[in-house]
Every structure is written in C-alpha cells, then in structure tokens.
Chain A
C-alpha cells in the first residue's frame, strides 16, 4: 500500500513541475511551487527523512513562497506570450537525451531501500554506532550536522549570510530615476482587510514562534535544529508583518537588530570553533569545551545550533524586509 502511495506522490511531483513550467501567470506558478515543496516534503517523510521534510516544508513552502510573492509585488505577474518560442525544440531534444542517459545508468544503481547498497556500508553505520557513545544525543542527523560535519554546517550558515548581505546590498542601491515606478497590487494590504485570516493569524503567531523555539531546543532529541527553527520563527514573524503591516513588525525587530542577529549568529558559530582551538583542540572540536568530552560535544552542538538559528532568523527576515522596503 505504502509503495503505491509513494509512487503516486512521486508522479504528482512530476505533474506539478510541468504545471509550474507551463503556467503563464506567475502568481499561480509561485503557488504551484509552494505545493511542489509540500509534496517534496511528504516524499522526504515517506523516505524516513524527518529533518529534511521539516526543513523543506518550512523553507520551500513557507519562506521561499513569501520571498517570491515579495518579488512579484515589484515585477510584472504575467509571463509575456510569444508567437514563436525560441529554443524549445533543441532544448527538448537535449533534455530527453540527458534523461535517457540518467535512466540508462539507473539500471546499474542499487535499488532504493536496499540495505546492502554501498551507501549504507561504510561511513553511515559508523555514525549510527558511534553517536550514542561519542556524543550521546538521540538524533544522529543533528550529531552529524553539528559535530562530525560541523565545518560544512558553518559553511552553510555563511552561505545564508552571504545571500542576506547580497540582497541587502542589491536592494539598498539608489533607484534609477528614469523609469516611473508602477505600483503593482500589494499583497500585504490584501491580508489586512480580511477578517478571518486576520483573527486566525493572530491566534496562530504565538504558537508558530513557540513551535519554532521547541524545534530549536529539541533538535538533539527529535527532528529539528537551528535551520528549521530559524525558518519557522521567521515565517511566524513574516506572518505578523503581513497581518499588522511592515511598520509594526519593524518596530518589534528593527533592521539593524536583524542584521545584528544574522551576523552575531554566524560569529557565534565561528567563535565556538575558535574557542575550541584556544582550549587545545582542533577547530570545532567541541570535546575540549568541558572536562568530559561527551558533555563538551553536547554544549558545542547546543551553542552552534543557537548560532544557526539566530543567523537564519535574522537573515531571512532581513531579506523579507529588504524586498518589502523596496516597494515603498
């Protein structure tokens, strides 16, 4: 039964993707891509990747959709129709050929779920065996993310920070005076005037933020961690901004504080690593943070997850406000 269901969900992904590409109205394309992300999250869940599913739902369906809508408020929302599309035939031939190559190679690949596949034989079992002993937290994904491959995660935080810096840099440029700025219908105000979303939304916000905090501090035990928490909390505050207006949200968290959060989070992560060096370990070797290496690892992971959460919340909100501010 579950097999049939997962095949159906996978097929639905393809259908949605085609619909996104074909849709000429960008609003509906954006909505469809939100649905695409939710479907993707469901697939991840069926494939036993709870952490990834949570992230895909929060980031793909939540934050990404809001950012796309924020950008659409500043750009035309209809794709222009053309009499003759360029490059379509040649592109179709190319993609079909690559698809066939991928499918051909797939017959030599291990079947999905095969426990004897090389992927499950080498490094992965070591993580599953050693995590209870070396780090002693239940969620192995958090252990690998925070400690064994903590350097990747540091890089990831800096990717987010770079994007935040980039968006702020791009959208703080002076506007060219040549073009009259045409106002597109604003999404924010449309929510404000509707009673039911307003009331329901207001009730929801505290729970969303609370859930975000739970995900942040429960990441060692269940699915969750800094990224998911950051995305969820940011989504909650964005909802607040949509309901109460930009100004109210910025009064609670001014732009400079948000940038400070983003930068502070990234620096916290990095400085935990540097502290490990000063205490005699390698960079990001949390074992030296406490007398007992296992406790040290746990302290380190909690600290860096906090850094991740702060950086992600700060950056996502900064990006959202940068788009919204460009409208005014």
Chain B
C-alpha cells in the first residue's frame, strides 16, 4: 500500500520520458508537437497528484462550518495556468509547421535539414 502512494510519480516519470523520446527521436514535426504535449501533461499530473489529500474532496466550501477535508487548491490553480500555456504553445507550433510545410513541402525534420544544407 505504501508503495502504491508513489505510483503517480512513476507514471509522471514515464509520461515525461515518452514525450521527451518523441521530441528527440521522431522526425515528423507534428509528432514532435504531440510529444511536447505529452511531455507537458506529465507535469500536470505531477502537480495535481501533489494536491490530493486522502479522503478529501474538491476545494469548494459550501458550508464553512462543516469539518470537511479539501484537496489543495494551489497546484490546481497553477495547472490551470499551465494547461493554457500548453495549448498556446501547441497552437503557435502548429502555425509554424504549416508555414514550414508551405516553404519546404515537407514536415520531416531530416528532409528539411537536407534541403537547408543544399541551399
């Protein structure tokens, strides 16, 4: 049971590294961006896991006098921000990919590099 309390951290690590692998080893630019969003999602999971309190509930205090346990609101706020940052990065990245495709007629990184070397 004790060990299971760490499972989230391992999933965070695994997702982070799967995303990182796609970023480095995949040549397709859209694939790189998908990898990037897995990479960022891993961090969301890390923060939200921190916020969990055993036996708690979402931090919405309907009755201030009741003795309830709430999960931690702060990491949730931070991750709301981070999710929005993530989609913004993806959107901008996609726009660049579209322009690259128009300029090079390919979105494979190794082919683009070959074309750049030739010019």
Contact = CB atoms under 8 A, between A and B. Distances in A.
Assess A/B contact in the complex (Cβ within 8 A): yes
Interface residues of A, number: 107
A115 B53 contact: yes
Contact of B30 (A17, A68, A109): A68
Given A111-B2, A128-B73, A163-B92, A49 B79 contact: yes
Given A51-B76, A75-B107, A171-B95, A21 B21 contact: yes
Contacts of B80: 51-52, 55, 141, 145, 156, 227
Interface stretch (A3-11, A190-198, A250-258): A3-11
B58 A49 contact: yes
A153 B81 contact: yes
B117 to A, nearest CB: 15
Contacts of B41: 36-37, 40, 60
Contacts of B83: 52, 55-56, 59-60
Interface in A201-233: 221-223, 227
Nearest to A322: B95
A92 interface: yes
Nearest to B58: A50
A115 B5 CA distance: 12
A26 B30 CA distance: 8
Interface in A87-121: 87-88, 91-92, 94-96, 98-99, 102-103, 106-107, 109, 111-115, 117, 119-120
Nearest to A221: B60
Contacts of A323: 94-95, 98
Interface stretch (A132-140, A238-246, A266-274, A289-297): A132-140
A18 interface: yes
Nearest to B89: A163
Interface string B55-96: 011111110100001111111111111011101111110111
B90 A14 contact: no
A312 B88 CA distance: 11
B50 interface: yes
Nearest to A124: B72
B84 A160 contact: yes
Contacts of A113: 5, 52-54, 56
Contacts of B111: 80
A145 to B, nearest CB: 5
Given A99-B13, A115-B56, A227-B84, 4 more contacts: A52-B48, A68-B30, A119-B72, A153-B81
